[in-house]
Amino acid sequence: MLSLTRFAEAVVGALLGVGAMWVVAHAALATAGGAMPPPATIPNAVAGDDDATMKQHAVDVVDYTMSAVLDRPLHVVHATGTIVWRNTSSNAVRELWFHLYLNAFKNERTVFLRAPVASGRGTTTVADWGYIDVTKLVARELDGVDLWPGADKTSPGDPDDQTDIRVPLPREIRPGETLTLDAAWDAKLPGIIERTGFSDDFHMVAQWFPKLAKLEHNGQWRHFPFYHLTEFYADFGTYDVTLDVPSGMVVGATGQRLSFASEKGRDVMRYRQTDVHDFAWTAWSSFREKSARVEGVDIRALYPPGYEAIADREIATVSFALRYFGEQYGRYPYPVLTLVHPPEAAGEAGGMEYPTLITCGGAWYDPRFAHDVEAITIHEFGHQYFYGLVASDEQSFPVLDEGINSFAEANSLTAMLGQGSAIDVLGLQVSVETVLRLGSTRAAHNEPVAQAAQAFASGGDYGALVYGRTATILDTLCRVYGRDRFMATLGRYTRRYRFEHPTLEQFIGVIREGLGDGAAKNLEIALSERGWVDYAVVNAVSKRDDAPAGIFDRNGKRETIVRGASEASTWRGWALVMRHGTLRFPVDVELWSEDGTLQIAHWDSAEDWIRIPYEGSSELARVIVDPAVNVTLDENLFNNGFRVSAAVSPRRTLERATYFAELGLQGLLP
């Protein structure tokens, strides 16, 4: 009877256990959702390639003087302004092109919102529509005619999009001629999406004014609709902006604040910055503020209540970055840098760059051992160079800003934090380079890296290739051709093209100057032709250098030599190393003898394979190609090694896996 009761208890207990787990599982589902080396010397330097001779200012092409009044309840910016534009091209122009980026959030048929991008930033449902209504565009030099009524109503060839607008001119504007445009517009901010918008009282006001497209030297306008994955491109100039916001709102903006006045419940302030190509600002009643002064730059951090520790980390990161980037890529030329940490609900506004203003990201509780906060901050700061100062076309060549900047991010974070630049906890050190390589490998063969942002098949490919793959390609060049040489080359690029708009060819040209034709060719193939490489040690053998055995007819005599009759003290053999793929990097090959002796062979990878001879006092034991993992582009690192002798046991792995399992069992076993 007793045993029957016990049995019944067991059955009921098991059923209750299963039931409890079901309850927990469904409850969980229901609630889900809720100090640095000096630069090396490289040949072929020209004026402008060093700190002493690099440009101090940009060519002033377009100046914006704007006044903006924030209607907080309606989340509308009422604005007026004067745009002074100079035709610095070699040809006359008969039209202007304006980017009205906020119209991307006007309805679900815009180029941006109908793009087949499945996930990531910009794919959240638009909580409130955003748009920009231009009401006036008067050209003073053209008899005060209002150009806007004659402007095209939609983007070229797309009746549903209004982000890329052509404005015909009544007469041509000759090279060197200036056009002064008086404009008025209302910018309705969307619910926070893709870098801009509002969330409750928080306002991130970006891409909020009619922005003139960039006129290239040949007189062609570089204009484009606001594609989902595309960023921006514009000419340098001076921005002088007066902001009028309800009193009590804390404001951060591009440039230096020149004045502040408070009257009738409104705060009015003026910001001005020369040598920039955009202007963004933010206003929020709840911002807290910290400041610091580093390298002559006034750093100002704006952050939500409770984020004090995160703000300290962000300031510490840009303090390091100002010095490091200054040494590597030229001094940061502006007197101010504003860090904006949006509140959690406005996370889409985080992780973005504007001249002298960056938005950061991360939760207030992000642990110090995981360096997400530092990574986002230094990445966005890096854009002050790769986008801000070296103002390449982000739409046509995202590789030149996001790609190079991802390398700069990883490189600087490693300089700052060491091998645990991504995660550093209890002996586990993961570098940002590893993370970027891991993320990019899966997409390496999908499509070229160097293509326009909107040409990518998916947001995943864009992220993996533009950010991760480019960073890994440049990391490989850095390791293979020497860190000092590479950094000096990249530094030449950033100095020569400071306040310029370089192309991909110009970047590759500087790589050719600094690292040689081989490096430049590798870079070209890797970026434009899905270049790849996989080194492998296919086989390795050695045997005693005994006299050959067999029957030999020599000098009219037949001689039979028995195998092993004499035991030579020398071992001879070879290692067969192969290179698969289209990239060719010089690599070292290590041949280890059984007695621990090391021979190093250097292979330039000119051929597809090489048989490396071995000679030693003991048997060849192990062979490894690229032992330092300089070629981080290598598709499979585990075929880089070859063990002649029997494989050793994975004792360390077994020990660690067993330990973790034991700890797990401590928690799971009753």
Nearest-10 crossing angle of helices 483-496, 308-329: 90
| 262 vs 645, beta carbon nearer other proteins | 645
DSSP 461-477: HIIIIIIIIHHHHHHHH
Minimum Å distance from CB 91 to other proteins? 51
| 213 vs 620, beta carbon nearer other proteins | 620
| 21 vs 606, beta carbon nearer other proteins | 21
What residues pair up with 76 in beta bridges, in sequence order? 71, 188
Minimum Å distance from CB 157 to other proteins? 42
Minimum Å distance from CB 440 to other proteins? 11
| 367 vs 664, beta carbon nearer other proteins | 664
The token pair that represents 462 in the structure block: 């864009």
Q: How is residue 370 annotated by DSSP? A: B
Tell me the C-alpha distance between 352 and 360, whole Å: 7
Q: CA distances (Å), 1 to each of 4, 380, 561, 643, in order? A: 5, 74, 88, 65
Tell me the C-alpha distance between 420 and 424, whole Å: 5
> Which amino acid is residue 369, in one-letter code?
F
Minimum Å distance from CB 286 to other proteins? 7
Minimum Å distance from CB 26 to other proteins? 9
Q: CA distances (Å), 376 to each of 334, 360, 363, 372, in order? A: 21, 6, 12, 6
| 455 vs 629, beta carbon nearer other proteins | 629
Q: What is the largest CA-CA distance in the chain?
A: 120
| 15 vs 59, beta carbon nearer other proteins | 15
Minimum Å distance from CB 609 to other proteins? 18
Minimum Å distance from CB 384 to other proteins? 27
| 159 vs 596, beta carbon nearer other proteins | 596
Tell me the C-alpha distance between 644 and 574, whole Å: 11
Minimum Å distance from CB 85 to other proteins? 42
- Beta-strand runs (E) in 200-277: 202-205, 211-212, 214-215, 221-222, 237-246, 250-253, 256-263, 266-276
What residues pair up with 193 in beta bridges, in sequence order? 196
| 343 vs 351, beta carbon nearer other proteins | 343
| 428 vs 562, beta carbon nearer other proteins | 428
| 241 vs 310, beta carbon nearer other proteins | 310
Cβ-proximal residues to 581 (8 Å cutoff; 6+ apart), any chain: 531, 532, 533, 534, 635
Q: What is the b/e burial string over 70-103, where b = at least 16 CB atoms within 10 angstroms of the residue's CB?
A: beeeebbbbbbbbbbbbbbbeeebeebbbbbbbb
> Is the CB of residue 286 less than 8 Å from the CB of residue 200?
no
Minimum Å distance from CB 634 to other proteins? 9
Minimum Å distance from CB 188 to other proteins? 22
Q: Quick one: how far is CA 533 from the chain centroid?
A: 22
Instruction: Quickly tell me which residue has 């630049």 as its tokens.
Output: 421
